Amino acid sequence: MFQPVKDWFAQKNWKPFPYQQKAWKAFRDGKSGLIHVPTGSGKTYAATMGPIASMLEKPKKGLKLLYLTPLRAVSRDIEQALRLPIESQGWPLKVESRTGDTSGSRKQKQLKNPPDILITTPESLSVLLSREGSGAFFSNLQCVVVDEWHELMGGKRGSQTELCLAHLRFLVPSLRTWMLSATIGNLDEAASCGAGTHGEAEIITAKINRKTRIQTLVPNSLDSFPWAGHLGLTMLPELLESLDRETSTLIFTNTRSQCERWYQALKEACPEMDDQLALHHSSIDRADREAIESRVKEGSLKWVVCTSSLDLGIDFHPVERVVQIGSAKAVARLLQRAGRSAHYPEGRSEILFVPTNSLELAEISAIRRVLKDGGLEKRVPQQKPFDVLMQHLVTLACGDGFCAEAYLEVIRSAHSFRDLTEEEYDWLLTFLEKGGKSLKAYPQYRKLVREEGVYKIAGKDLARLHRMSIGTIVSDAEIQIRYTNRRKIGTIEEYFISRLKRGDVFVFSGRMLEFLRLHDMSAYVKPAKKSSKVVPAWIGGRIPITDLLSEALRRQLNHSHSGDKPVDTEMKILDPVLQTQQRLSMIPSENELLIEQVISREGRHLFVFPFEGRFVHEGLAALWSMRFVQREPSTFSVSVNDYGFELLAPVDYPFEEGLDEVMAADPEELEAQVADAVNLSELTQRRFRGVAQVAGLVFQGYPGSRKTEKQLQMSTSLLHGVFEEFEPEHLLLQQARDEVLEIQLEAPRLRKSLERMQNLNVIWKNPPRPTPLAFPLLVERMSARMTNETLMQRIDRMKRQWEKY
């Protein structure tokens, strides 16, 4: 069966890895599962050559292999990789892609004459299922491969994919599904999510000799190295010395704003690299991004400053080196980015870490230790996202329809919905058919009709509007940036553009642009004659350290607490700072919670260091503030980072007297405590907007004429108010509230943190000035009200004052 595949491998002077042959045999035996091997080790051929061999042995018409990828850009690489053996061997197979970039005529041809292999995205698969005759279209399907499963699994796109796979198994019971990943920690759960709850999953791994070499670009002197901040531009001279103008390099940043700033800095410092230097992030126009990707593959671009837009499986064989600006905040993210270099079996990935502040040296040291121990972050699947299920049911109703009684078990076979109750299912169907208690008078919410026991869409107009809204990715309203000749440059969030006035200059896509006017969700600009340092800021750019990394960081600091001599290069460099921390206060061990109190002209500062990550500290700061206020009313200013949080109160506030009462919290009552501590109603209303969009309760507008941020907010606010007043048990309201607690405030991790803190020894210190651990929290608070230039001047002044101590 596999001889044609083996012949092609031999022709290429390749030898199949044992894990690849194991995967082929598992497919032959009718199994589904997960392939988890390092990036660049041949996962694509491991998952696809078994189905291809089966097609060659028993030819059939129609679609046989469906390949899902989270990124449209990756689909082009996958198509090229599969065309290579098919065209060189003359196999009678046709492979095509179908994404949002595919022309309408090509899509129509695919529906009439399906290719043997189709590469698409989860959203495009849902659109296919919304077409009448989808059952016949997929009737000969043998296998579905889902690439980069770690990227999908933890979000709503993963739940959407699970539901689609469950439906395909319902249509073709013999269907085999294979998930691919290189960076996931909970393999059993990941495999179960892919194979469905009614089937067994096989996990295929391999010990492939693919090493990752992490180097740290150390500052020449800690005296001139910042203790806080996240831009890292102070390391520009050192980075320029280490970069090779002939070596193809990807320079990763964590945010789009940081990406723009680093590109400008490199461009100004190396004007001779202008034609070999590029910028790549998700807000840049697609055509420009694709041109950059092509030039990287050709080798004509040497340095590309980028974000997570180039994290995933695009194969850049010329790339020899990767640079990471600032901490990656996750072990898996660093490993994924490192894998962009030497992207071939048994290649050695190289990544150069550029710290943006002193304490990030401890983070990269902790990542080294986790990698040495083989640790990776877990991806937790969503639990019953009702908005995704509502969208999916309407999608099926637009196509061949579904029988309500028989379909509940199909839905439960998707891991995310395994606990769906009959009552919840009946409620969803009633809402979709009749609009529920609150919206039954409005025909646009009565989307389904029941015909002879089968649910179908209520009208062609509803089907057309639904297809335009399929998908689970929700973002703030985006404005198209265009030149006056209407040429697209990219997109930017509405709130940034709304603050600009005519003549303002800003930096975007590496260009100096002058704002002219805003019209029909497009911002018209022209090339600016003067320069500016104003860079757009995108909401949600800050990412917290993961649970795995926070534990490793606490262990790393525990070594310093114990007086162990530093072994890692990073910890040796950081040692003077940690020694200063020990002299002024202390370095907490794993069993200690350090609390520092400092009095300044601003007031009384309380610094608390649980080392649990930014989002957890936001929840802790809110809880502590509420409890302190309940005991002694006052006004607090709050700042948080990945290491701890700060409460700033009037100078005479008695923090110490109320500490025991504040810490005596019951983790089991966390939900009620958080609801009291934060404005949960306001947060739920904001979250509800995204839930309502995915569920199809609000129409986001036609292509090229999207609704504005204000229009969407008004629509969802109205619905939220109606449900709260007349239907408080509405499942989408409950979902929005749960998402705030479980995702936005990380309640499970917060609960775990509270339980851990109950067992810690509290160490109270009163240093004369903010310590090296406290200093970044001061900067975090100041950054909210200062420009970058003013902030850096203030930091330098504070640092000089601090050095006296």
d(CA 680, CA 676): 8
Nearest C-alpha neighbor of 615 from the set 733, 780, 762, 742: 742
pLDDT score at 563? 73
Q: Which residues contact 349 (CB under 8 A, 6 or more apart)?
A: 39, 40, 210, 211, 212, 213, 322, 338, 339, 340, 341, 342
Closest CA to 393 of 458, 321, 314: 458
- How many whole angstroms separate alpha carbon 214 and alpha carbon 136? 51
Please tell me the predicted confidence (pLDDT) of residue 29.
93
Instruction: Decide the pairing of beta strands 454-457 and 645-649.
Output: unpaired
Q: Which long-range contacts does 715-719 make (Cβ < 8 Å, 24+ apart)?
A: 716/685, 716/688, 716/689, 716/692, 717/685, 717/689, 719/688, 719/692
Q: Answer for the pair 334, 367: CB distance below 8 angstroms, yes or no.
A: yes
Q: Are strands 522-527 and 511-519 parallel, antiparallel or unpaired?
A: antiparallel
Neighbours of 150 (CB within 10 A): 25
* pLDDT attached to residue 708: 62
Cα distance between residue 273 and residue 296, in whole Å: 14
Contact 354, 389 (CB under 8 A): no
**Residue 541 has what pLDDT?**
58
Q: How far apart are CA 403 and CA 453, in angstroms?
A: 6
**End-to-end alpha carbon distance in the chain:** 75
Instruction: Give 308's Cβ-side CA count (13 Å radius).
Output: 15
Nearest alpha carbon to residue 74 among 405, 311, 343: 311
What pLDDT does residue 212 have? 82
- Residue 358: its H or E element: none
CB 34 within 8 A of CB 206: no
Tell me phi and psi for residue 492, to 5 degrees: -145, 155
Mean pLDDT in order along the chain per 10 residues (805 residues): 89 91 94 90 92 92 94 82 93 91 87 94 95 94 95 93 96 95 91 88 84 84 70 87 90 91 93 92 86 87 89 71 92 87 73 90 91 89 95 96 92 95 95 90 91 91 91 78 90 82 91 89 90 78 84 88 78 88 92 94 94 90 89 91 94 89 74 72 85 88 61 79 89 90 81 86 92 89 61 58 53
Say whether 609 sits in a helix, a strand or coil: strand
Minimal CA–CA distance to 69: which of 56, 81, 87? 81
Give the per-residue SS3 of 476-534: CCEEEEEECCCCEEEEEEHHHHCCCCCCCEEEECCEEEEEEEEECCEEEEEECCCCCCC
CA 276 – CA 291 distance, rounded (Å): 13
DSSP string, 779-791: HHHHHTTS-HHHH
Scanning the structure block, which residue is given the tokens 């078990």? 409
Do 500 and 506 form a contact (C-beta atoms < 8 A)?
yes
- Tell me what pLDDT residue 801 has: 55
CA distance 447 to 283: 34
Closest of 163, 150, 171 to residue 63, by C-alpha: 171
The first and second tokens of residue 84, run together, are 């290579």
Distance CA 64, CA 117 (A): 6
* Domains of the chain (ranges, CATH numbers): 3-205 (3.40.50.300), 212-372 (3.40.50.300), 386-472+681-741 (no CATH), 478-527 (no CATH)
Question: How many angstroms separate the CA atoms of 712 and 699, rounded?
Answer: 8
Confidence at residue 611, expressed as pLDDT on a 0 to 100 scale: 94
